[in-house]
């Protein structure tokens, strides 16, 4: 039985972490003897999520540059040097056969050191517009797995493999989970349900827009499952108190996302790469509100990849407070449009990304 040693590096958001865990799971499923070590950034959410998924992780002291002038930025060069030094130590001790970068702060130092030491590396780019780290690393890695067509404008064409984004396996075959989902969220099967997901940290504009439009749900007998993120959880819980018995539920974080997707008739979401990939796989009519607070406005580019194929509706963040509930109302009344979005988004779904990427990782080892 093959016993490979693999380092997977990156993180910072759920959009980087969950695909990384999906790749690790696919490798372990095919080659149970594989030893996998994660390398993340100290203090970031991967330091909690990765051990919860059953894997070891080591943190680097790496931090990103703040967009505004701040004293924190003075520490960046020192943190980078410390991270490069620690990455070298990790690689020498673990002796990986291959390294995988999934984007985020930690993948930069780790892959830079690994490729310099002659260890084959694979990049997994989730977005339709890559971040700076992956653009820099692209020159040194052997393989780049992407989720969108047309990525040869950013990366060397001969290294690119179109795989889609790995997503959690439990969101496949949702129809069998609908009844359990209704029970889990205490919902009425005869009513329509809207799911709000603002990403793992929540989304202020979406939260404020939904908060301002709660009457719409109550007056139209539409149920709401609202993931607020922890920063808005108290405010949302306070706001929905007066709608008790109306099927309006808030929570900081949804652990059973498979149940949430299973009960949803329409989804309102940010346009992070992972969210978009999950919406494609779950075939949900969706309204996307891209976050403006991300590098190179890549969420708008992710959203437009769907909108251009009539597979989702776009509401700009700046317009959300005036337009989001109006667009939702139009979509809820238009079942023909819901069906069209469902069919078109299903066409874009790439269903076996984690296994395809795992196979590419093994190819690099055997090469």
What superfamily in CATH does domain 170-348 come from?
Glycogen Phosphorylase B; (3.40.50.2000)
Cα dihedral angle (85, 362, 37, 63), rounded to 10 degrees? 50
Q: Is 329 annotated as a binding residue?
A: no
pTM above 0.95, yes or no: no
* Residue 176 labeled ligand binder: no
Q: What is the pLDDT at residue 173?
A: 82
Assess contact for 91 and 7: CB atoms under 8 A: yes
Packed helices 233-240 and 204-212: angle between N→C axes, nearest 10 degrees: 10
**Whether the Cβ atoms of residue 302 and residue 272 lie closer than 8 Å to each other:** yes
Q: Are 358 and 161 in contact (CB under 8 A)?
A: no
Rg of the chain on CA atoms, in Å: 21
| Mean pLDDT in consecutive groups of 10 residues from the start of the chain, 367 residues | 87 83 95 96 91 95 73 80 95 98 90 97 92 89 93 96 89 90 96 88 88 96 96 94 94 93 97 91 96 84 94 97 98 98 93 93 93
278 labelled as ligand-binding? yes
Does the annotation flag 275 for ligand binding? yes
175 labeled part of a ligand binding site:
no
What is the pLDDT, as a whole number, of residue 11? 82
Angle of the 335-348 helix axis to the 273-282 helix axis, nearest 10? 110
Do the domains 170-348 and 5-165+351-366 match in fold?
yes
Rounded CA gap, 161 and 139, in Å? Answer: 15
13 is in an annotated binding site: yes
299 is in an annotated binding site: yes
- Cα separation, 60 vs 63, in Å, equals 9
Q: Is 254 annotated as a binding residue?
A: yes
Which residues partner with 268 through β-bridges?
196, 287
| Residue 274 marked in a binding site | yes
- Is residue 279 classed as helix, strand or coil in its secondary structure? helix
In the chain, where the domains are located: 5-165+351-366, 170-348
pLDDT value for 256: 92
Task: Please indicate if the annotation marks 327 as binding a ligand.
Answer: no
Residue 277 known to bind ligand: yes
Cβ 291 vs Cβ 271: under 8 Å: yes
Beta bridge mates, 227: 197, 251
What is the spatial distance between Cα 253 and Cα 251, in angstroms, rounded to a whole number? Answer: 6
Q: Is the dihedral of CA 141, 147, 152, 157 positive or negative?
A: positive
168 is in an annotated binding site: yes
Beta bridge partners of 161: 145
**Distance (Å, whole) CA 58 – CA 264:** 37
CATH class of the 5-165+351-366 domain in this structure: alpha beta
pLDDT of residue 50: 95
- Sort strands 98-101 and 121-125 into parallel, antiparallel or unpaired: parallel
β-bridge pairing 56-60 and 98-101: unpaired
Quote helix, strand, coil % in the chain, to nearest 5: 50, 15, 35
């Amino acid at each position: 039985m093959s016993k490979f040693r693999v380092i997977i590096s990156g993180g910072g958001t759920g959009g980087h972490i969950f695909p990384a865990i999906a790749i690790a799971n696919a490798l372990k499923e095919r080659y149970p003897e594989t030893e996998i070590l994660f390398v993340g950034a100290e203090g970031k959410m991967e330091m909690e999520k990765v051990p919860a998924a059953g894997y070891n992780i080591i943190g680097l002291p790496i931090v990103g540059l703040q967009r505004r002038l701040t004293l924190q930025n003075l520490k960046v060069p020192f943190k980078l040097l410390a991270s490069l030094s620690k990455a070298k130590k990790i690689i020498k001790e673990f002796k990986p056969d291959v390294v995988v970068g999934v984007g985020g702060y930690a993948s930069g130092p780790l892959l830079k050191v690994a490729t310099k030491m002659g260890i084959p590396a694979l990049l997994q780019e989730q977005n339709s517009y890559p971040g700076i780290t992956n653009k820099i690393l692209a020159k040194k890695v052997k393989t780049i797995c992407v989720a969108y067509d047309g990525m040869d404008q950013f990366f060397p064409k001969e290294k690119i493999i179109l795989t889609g984004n790995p997503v959690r396996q439990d969101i496949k075959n949702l129809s069998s989970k609908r009844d359990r989902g209704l029970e889990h969220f205490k919902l009425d099967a005869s009513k329509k349900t809207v799911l709000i997901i603002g990403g793992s940290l929540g989304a202020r504009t979406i939260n404020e827009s939904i908060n301002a439009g709660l009457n719409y749900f109550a007056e139209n007998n539409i149920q709401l499952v609202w993931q607020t993120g922890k920063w808005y959880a108290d405010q949302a819980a306070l706001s929905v108190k007066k709608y008790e018995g109306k099927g309006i539920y808030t929570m900081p974080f949804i652990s059973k996302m498979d149940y949430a997707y299973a009960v949803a008739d329409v989804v309102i979401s940010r346009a992070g790469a992972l969210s978009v990939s999950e919406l494609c796989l779950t075939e949900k009519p969706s309204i996307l509100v891209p976050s403006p607070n991300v590098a190179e406005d890549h969420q708008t580019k992710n959203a437009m990849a769907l909108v251009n194929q009539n597979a989702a509706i776009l509401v700009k963040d700046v317009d959300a407070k005036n337009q989001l509930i109006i667009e939702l109302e139009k979509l809820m009344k238009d079942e023909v449009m819901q069906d069209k979005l469902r069919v078109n988004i299903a066409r874009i779904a790439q269903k076996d990304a984690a296994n395809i990427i795992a196979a590419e990782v093994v190819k690099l080892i055997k090469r």
